């Protein structure tokens, strides 16, 4: 088993954790309609719901916040961020947004028409929903290995290039206003995409005159995996690898709440000046003036620092090793996880763990609930609650291939003792897995149902 990594920081501010009893947690989860999003955060012992916006900012970020220029237009903080975005990504035009999904909304509002398709290796849920909200079709073309949780592959987030070619030939390039790739692939285990694959994806899109946008939420973790696993990159700096990743793209959407280690923020960047004009008009309508987007000046400052800090070699080595440590502990206890561990989270394969629960009864949601009741561990379902939807033509339910429970690790927040507690709780739940019951939805909204749906035990 890998050793727990040395944390390349000291802790200056702490936040208490409330301890709860099993009975209290049973009451909380029932009152929340068995939806972990509806449980109060203070009732969670270790909160692994998401690594999004939950990181601990550094002293440098907190001090940058005091430099926030809150002017409506042309704030100094915008220019500080502009310099960071240019240095880190090399893209000439960008707007700040309040978070990743706002960048997606704006991009698809100005590019996607009803009936058009947007291919990707695998869209995240908000990207998926924002494309559908425009009448578009999100299409996932990740390599087949991604559907096999136990399979080892160094770049399991890769696009299946042959499938992408075939898909473009079938629907026609003029029905594809934008093509994407998500780095790392959050929906299938936080798996990285190789540089070779990014290059090949860009080549295919560009040969068909399709603009290529990267969903860059975890741009730095992806670069770290490239450095560690791809031939020819071992001696390169993270900064150089990040620049090369972005060099193949015509633009990117970014939830800055991940690798840019801020509690709120997003970016939408591009090379095309005409697209930038359309984006700015849409931004003014929905987010704010182009020099602040949906953010305060202080948020722009924290983001300008976080973009650079997220690429620190020692920090990335610690982060990826911390995630691998949790993965090792679960694997050694016989708990099936998505292999190999990704950067930001460990994903438990609920379909293998709970073969007695059919997909229609949401095995991953059932496991999530069990982990909360057993130890106050809050996780998220990435399975049929999040991704099953009725086929628009036939009405038949389309189920995802995997049913995963994601244990996402907030950045610079939890220590080894916390992760050992998580592992012990998972092991305890695994021992009692035959008694876990499936769930039935009793209320759901039209889109993004996992956030607000309510369930009852079957």
Ligand X SMILES: Cc1ncc(COP(=O)(O)O)c(C=O)c1O
Stretch that binds ligand X, among 121-129, 292-300, 359-367, 386-394 (CB under 6 A): 121-129
Residues 7-66 that bind ligand X (CB under 6 A): 52
- Measured CA to CA, the distance from residue 238 to residue 226 in angstroms comes to 9
- Measured CA to CA, the distance from residue 217 to residue 164 in angstroms comes to 22
Nearest Cα neighbor of 450 from 385, 374, 404, 396 is 385
Which residue in 96, 266, 297, 375 binds ligand X (CB under 6 A)?
266
Residues in the chain: 458
Catalytic entry in 252, 302, 450, 455: 450
What is the largest distance, in Å, between two alpha-carbon atoms of the chain? 60
Question: Which uninterrupted H or E stretch holds 63?
Answer: helix 59-65
Which residue in 116, 127, 245, 430 binds ligand X (CB under 6 A)?
127
Q: Which residues contact 151 (CB under 8 A, 6 or more apart)?
A: 145, 339
Residues 404-443 that bind ligand X (CB under 6 A): none
Instruction: Give yes or no for residue 323 binding ligand X (CB under 6 A).
Output: no
Catalytic entry in 102, 103, 217, 423: 217
Which residue in 47, 69, 160, 215 binds ligand X (CB under 6 A)?
215
Nearer to ligand X, 265 or 438 (CB): 265
Nearer to ligand X, 116 or 186 (CB): 186
- Interface mask (CB under 6 A) for ligand X, residues 152-191, using x and -? ------------------------------x---x-----
Instruction: Give yes or no for residue 222 binding ligand X (CB under 6 A).
Output: no
- Measured CA to CA, the distance from residue 221 to residue 321 in angstroms comes to 12
Instruction: Give yes or no for residue 101 binding ligand X (CB under 6 A).
Output: yes
- Measured CA to CA, the distance from residue 150 to residue 327 in angstroms comes to 12
Q: Which residues contact 354 (CB under 8 A, 6 or more apart)?
A: 363, 366, 367, 433, 436
Q: Is 450 a catalytic residue?
A: yes
Stretch that binds ligand X, among 110-118, 122-130, 170-178, 365-373 (CB under 6 A): 122-130
Residue nearest to ligand X (CB): 100
Smallest distance from ligand X to CB 27, Å: 29
Nearer to ligand X, 52 or 368 (CB): 52
- Measured CA to CA, the distance from residue 7 to residue 62 in angstroms comes to 19
Q: Which residues contact 72 (CB under 8 A, 6 or more apart)?
A: 289, 292
Q: Is 217 a catalytic residue?
A: yes
- Measured CA to CA, the distance from residue 125 to residue 138 in angstroms comes to 10
φ, ψ for residue 388, nearest 5 deg: -75, 135
Smallest distance from ligand X to CB 266, Å: 5
- Measured CA to CA, the distance from residue 239 to residue 412 in angstroms comes to 20
- Measured CA to CA, the distance from residue 47 to residue 292 in angstroms comes to 31
Burial of 394 (0-12, 13-18, 19+ CB in 10 A): exposed
Half-sphere exposure at residue 168, Cβ-oriented, CA atoms within 13 angstroms: 23
Stretch that binds ligand X, among 25-33, 119-127, 192-200, 409-417 (CB under 6 A): 119-127
Instruction: Please say whether the beta carbons of 37 and 452 come within 8 A.
Output: yes
Strand partners, 34: none
Q: Is 124 a catalytic residue?
A: yes
Stretch that binds ligand X, among 97-105, 241-249, 277-285, 427-435 (CB under 6 A): 97-105
Smallest distance from ligand X to CB 306, Å: 13
Nearer to ligand X, 251 or 375 (CB): 251
Nearer to ligand X, 219 or 318 (CB): 219
Which residue in 58, 158, 255, 365 binds ligand X (CB under 6 A)?
255
Quote the tokens at residue 78.
């915008």
Helices (H), 186-269: 195-207, 219-229, 238-247
Q: Is 258 a catalytic residue?
A: yes
Question: Which uninterrupted H or E stretch holds 202?
Answer: helix 195-207
How many other C-beta atoms lie within 10 A of the C-beta of residue 457?
13
Nearer to ligand X, 126 or 158 (CB): 126
Instruction: Give yes or no for residue 130 binding ligand X (CB under 6 A).
Output: no
Smallest distance from ligand X to CB 279, Å: 17
Smallest distance from ligand X to CB 126, Å: 4
Half-sphere exposure at residue 277, Cβ-oriented, CA atoms within 13 angstroms: 2
Q: Is 304 a catalytic residue?
A: no
Smallest distance from ligand X to CB 187, Å: 7
Which residue in 126, 130, 222, 245 binds ligand X (CB under 6 A)?
126
Stretch that binds ligand X, among 81-89, 96-104, 129-137, 149-157 (CB under 6 A): 96-104
Catalytic entry in 6, 18, 41, 72: 72
By annotation, the residues acting in catalysis are 72, 124-125, 215, 217, 258, 450
- Which residues of the shown chain bind ligand X in the complex (CB under 6 A)? 52, 99-101, 124, 126-127, 182, 186, 215, 217, 255, 257, 266
């Amino acid at each position: 088993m890998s050793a727990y990594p040395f944390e390349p920081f000291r802790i200056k501010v702490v936040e208490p954790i409330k301890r709860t009893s099993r009975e209290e947690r049973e009451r909380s989860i029932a009152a929340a309609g068995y939806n972990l999003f509806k449980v109060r955060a203070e009732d969670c012992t270790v909160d692994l719901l998401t690594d999004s916006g939950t990181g601990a900012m550094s002293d440098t970020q907190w001090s940058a916040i005091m430099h926030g220029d809150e002017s409506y237009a042309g704030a100094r903080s915008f220019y500080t961020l502009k310099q960071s975005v240019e240095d880190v990504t090399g893209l000439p035009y960008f707007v700040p947004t309040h978070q990743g999904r706002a960048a997606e909304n704006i991009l698809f509002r100005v590019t996607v028409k009803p009936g058009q398709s947007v291919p990707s290796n695998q869209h995240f849920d908000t990207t998926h929903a924002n494309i559908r909200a425009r009448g578009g079709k999100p299409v996932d073309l990740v390599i087949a290995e991604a559907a096999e949780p136990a399979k080892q592959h160094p770049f399991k987030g890769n696009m299946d290039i042959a499938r992408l070619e075939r898909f473009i030939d079938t629907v026609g390039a003029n029905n594809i206003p934008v093509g994407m790739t998500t780095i790392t692939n959050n929906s299938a285990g936080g798996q990285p995409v190789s540089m070779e694959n990014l290059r090949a994806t860009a080549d295919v899109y560009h040969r068909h005159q399709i603009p290529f946008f990267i969903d860059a939420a975890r741009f730095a973790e992806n670069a770290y995996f490239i450095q560690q696993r791809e031939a020819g990159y071992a001696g390169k700096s993270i900064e150089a690898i990040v620049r090369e990743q972005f060099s193949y793209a015509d633009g990117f959407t970014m939830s800055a709440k991940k690798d840019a280690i801020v509690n709120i923020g997003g970016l939408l960047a591009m090379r095309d000046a005409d697209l930038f004009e359309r984006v700015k008009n849409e931004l003014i309508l929905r987010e704010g003036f182009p020099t602040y987007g949906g953010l305060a000046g202080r948020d722009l400052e924290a983001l300008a620092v976080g973009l650079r800090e997220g690429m620190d070699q020692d920090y990335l080595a610690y982060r990826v090793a911390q995630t691998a440590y949790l993965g090792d502990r679960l694997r050694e206890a016989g708990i099936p996880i998505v292999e190999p561990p990704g950067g930001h989270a460990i994903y438990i394969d609920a379909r293998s763990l709970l073969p007695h629960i059919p997909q229609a009864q949401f095995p991953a949601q059932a496991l999530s609930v069990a982990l909360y009741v057993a130890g106050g561990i809050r996780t998220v379902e990435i399975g049929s609650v999040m991704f099953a939807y009725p086929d628009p033509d036939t009405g038949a339910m389309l189920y995802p291939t995997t049913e995963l429970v994601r244990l996402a690790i907030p950045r610079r927040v939890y220590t080894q003792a916390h992760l050992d507690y998580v592992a012990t709780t998972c092991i305890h739940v695994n021992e009692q897995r035959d008694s876990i019951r499936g769930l039935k939805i009793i209320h759901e909204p039209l889109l993004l149902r996992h956030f607000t749906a309510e369930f009852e035990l079957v």
